A and B are shown apart, each in its own frame.
Chain A
């Protein structure tokens, strides 16, 4: 049992400490770092999807006014490590996807750099490319593991026999499209090489992992690279690991020593260079008894990766943990294509992976004539079906029950397409959510000075609230008021911290701060002197060997579908979450609401359309890649059980950044079916998929 904190500051809802700077716009993001006499970068990108660069003519670019340097594969320095092919920038003439970097211009102004980049002439030996994911490709393969280190396939029992013998089955194929993270702040880096050391003001979800990657690539010792990032303008996974532009900015900085350089990807460039969520093709088969108890679950996933670097999204992993069934199978198969490198996007695995099975469960409920909430409750496992371990805490049933109560689910007529309000068909739907409660090694230091405690840790605040909640945690660990504590983050000069990813940030950093605070009190007592300082760290959670640790949630949706046009509106979205103890209700609510809103956006709007002729995303901007706006969002509510988990960390918290998005799209699809009788198994739910079949 973890030694849980007594909470005084935790549970309060102070306003964000960085709030004033953010509403004024004075919080400085990476590109905005005030540096003397900056130069500006603009990349040159490959105009083919596969082949070889045969010649680059930089003469016109080099002659353009204000140009300081033009780097190409022929002139860029050789990197120390090219093991990570995504980061092996300008190291060869092979083109692996359209939009790949083939050069960069450094100039006195951003306009000058952009103009000169257009003057670089690149000739290619083009090869036929292959960019289309289909389920019947002959070259699908099983990766060695799926992100980050889960088994590719699992099997228990005799799934096919159980499916054949089951009195009721659902066997369907579901698809999710390619998605792009699209944080509002484009990926950006300000870089300075002073001949001895490299300083990167980089928009990153983790300064230390960012530095480690750059040090590997350039063969630099860690004490020669500093990464600074006080604010991140959103990441959603796309800034969790450095992409090629960080290496490009560093290369540019090293080409003009002593001169800081600035590089920001354009919104269009972000569609080929900053990661994305793979499209998925998911075959789900459920077998059940007449009473609704599942006897078999099969979840077989096909998705893509890039030819140069493998990223295997762990889409089917959810089906190892959510529902009890004696016979279970999950598989992942990949196609390696001539496409940009996929990566993390909010709840990689769980988010697309819960869409298919949670719609399938709704289909099973309809088939059985059992209420969809009740069907889920009937399949609640006693222990984690995959590992056999008990759950550290599992509040899914309570989330479903409380959500049903709050939403007004109990008198729901299960028949589809029978409710009409004027021109609108009305329906309701539900889905479950699950997300692992992870903790990663981190360290922190606390110093007492002039009546205040100042803690430092290389954490990141992507809008998650770290600037605000880490002082709350530290205050409770020290037994002082929140106002007496400062926590400084976002700098590799602070103690090493883990990435803000996998909803593990607060859990990991909070554990380190608690360890440092307890060590401080043990050494200096409650009456320290100025300058007293103590560090502490937390490793992997040993209790993870004994317990399965997850956050849970249930989303309820009211959908209205226009009877003539098929337009879908979602006036109501209610989520109830079991995410352990909530550290700050104000920032936590925003996390849950933000996740659910992104789930709504995924359900109805988002889709990156890859042109098979050219291998690029045609709708590569925010006018054509639609994300939810104010007018798409109605009454969205987030509630939580606020039950501390006794095993995950000393705060009793679980992660909250991703659970909100997980089940939302399935709940929307289920509500649309209830409204119209049309089952949309291919996201997004656009009106063309409804029109022909509307009642």
Chain B
């Protein structure tokens, strides 16, 4: 009757001398592993041009219908190829972070990033547009980090 209790409490007592495993979030961040699928990033090529050619394959592959994009011809004012996505939006509340967009993209323009702190204060901010997805072009101020 009493022996199992002694065994059990000995077990919990031992735990008092173990290193705590809890993490002081948000002061300490939990590191992600290399394959982590977080908020997407749109890439630029080595010349600083936007890689995305607005083919729309990612939007078709997306099982959650989270991607909306509008293609446009480049008139030379944008740091991009001849055809680029004028509007590229990912709807955060729809996206399930499956990574199919990354897999579908023929030119490797979109990647799953590492950012997992996605809470926002306003429902307007649930849509990521290019200012938040696109990596900064060399020589331009960094794209908005606002969430």
Decide whether A and B are members of one complex: no
Binding site for A on B (CB under 8 A): none
Residues of A within 8 A of B (CB): none
